[in-house]
Amino acid sequence: MSLHKVVMIRHGESEWTNRNLFCGWYDSLLSEQGHKEAIEAARLLMEIDNMKFDIVFTSLLSRAMRSVEVILDEINQKCIQVEKAWQLNERHYGHLTGMNKEKAVEQYGHKQVQLWRRSFDILPPPMSEDHFCYNEIRDYFRKFGAHIHVPRVESLKTTMERVIPYWRESIVPSILSDKNVLIVSHGTVLRSLIKHIEGISDSQIMNINVPTAIPFIYEFDSELNPQKSKTFLGDQDKIDKAIKKTAAISRS
Ligand SMILES: O=C(O)[C@H](O)COP(=O)(O)O
């Protein structure tokens, strides 16, 4: 039985993640560390036997698009098709956007902030029009056309409402036509896909954290059943440390 292999990667660290700020739909650039992480992700991809991609799916946010450029350059596959879609954007963090995560804990408490970050359906407060990022986010996405509806806030649940239809309608046909697919996206988008693909419950998904720039692989049969849980590439100790860092609110 021939299996369909799909590789997924969360973009490298952004400047705002480096400063421990909630980012969401704000277009924070790849940090210097994020650039190095993307190079390291490419190195891990080169260890896969015969890994030649046919198509890459990514978001409209620079941290993901730039990670794609760095990775494709490093693996010497610059000329392949890259599909950029707003549906693969990070979840919108609403009022929390731009707030320091430790300050948010001081203001709202650890339990509430963790529920906003990792619960399935608890929405942070929405972004109001006088929020300091409101106009910048709206203007950034206007450039890509009127079809993009910029939300005021999203949970994992509402993020899935745009990610899963895009997965079914745009990504799955490529997988089933035997293309080698690479997805470079964001923490919440990848948690959406992992939840959907592995049938993870609403409560269990709280414990899933996707570290930046460590590729993971799914192998699907022809009915798109995953053969096993996602498999991260690289050293297990490094993977465990990166997952722990992603889960934590404090970066110190
Ligand atoms: O949007 C963000 O701030 C990050 O991409 C994810 O942050 P989190 O790990 O706190 O959800």
Task: Print pLDDT tens along the chain (252 aa).
Answer: 678 999 999 999 999 999 999 999 999 999 999 999 999 999 999 998 878 999 999 999 999 999 999 999 999 999 999 999 999 999 999 999 999 999 999 999 999 999 999 999 999 999 999 999 999 999 999 999 888 989 999 999 999 999 999 999 999 999 999 999 999 999 999 999 999 999 999 999 999 999 999 999 999 999 999 999 999 999 999 999 999 999 999 877
Q: For a substitution probing ligand 1, which of 9, 17, 59 has the most ligand atoms within 8 Å of its CB?
A: 17
CB 85 within 8 A of CB 59: yes
DSSP state of 168: I
What's the predicted TM-score (pTM) here? Answer: 0.97
> Which residues form the domain of 68?
4-247
Is 176 contained in some domain?
yes
Q: For a substitution probing ligand 1, which of 9, 90, 113, 155 has the most ligand atoms within 8 Å of its CB?
A: 90
Is 252 contained in some domain?
no
**CA 210 to each of CA 57, 158, 227, 244: distance values in angstroms, whole numbers, following the listed order:** 17, 18, 20, 10
Is 12 contained in some domain?
yes
Residues 6+ positions from 45 with CB-CB distance below 8 Å: 7, 51, 71, 75, 215, 233
Number of domains in the chain: 1
Ligand 1 center to residue 97 CA distance, Å?
10
Residue owning the nearest CA to atom 7 of ligand 1: 22
ipTM: 0.95
**Of the candidates 4, 6, 1, the residue with the CA atom closest to the CA atom of residue 216:** 6
CATH at 179: 3.40.50.1240
Q: Rounded to whole angstroms, how far apart are CA atoms 155 and 132?
A: 21
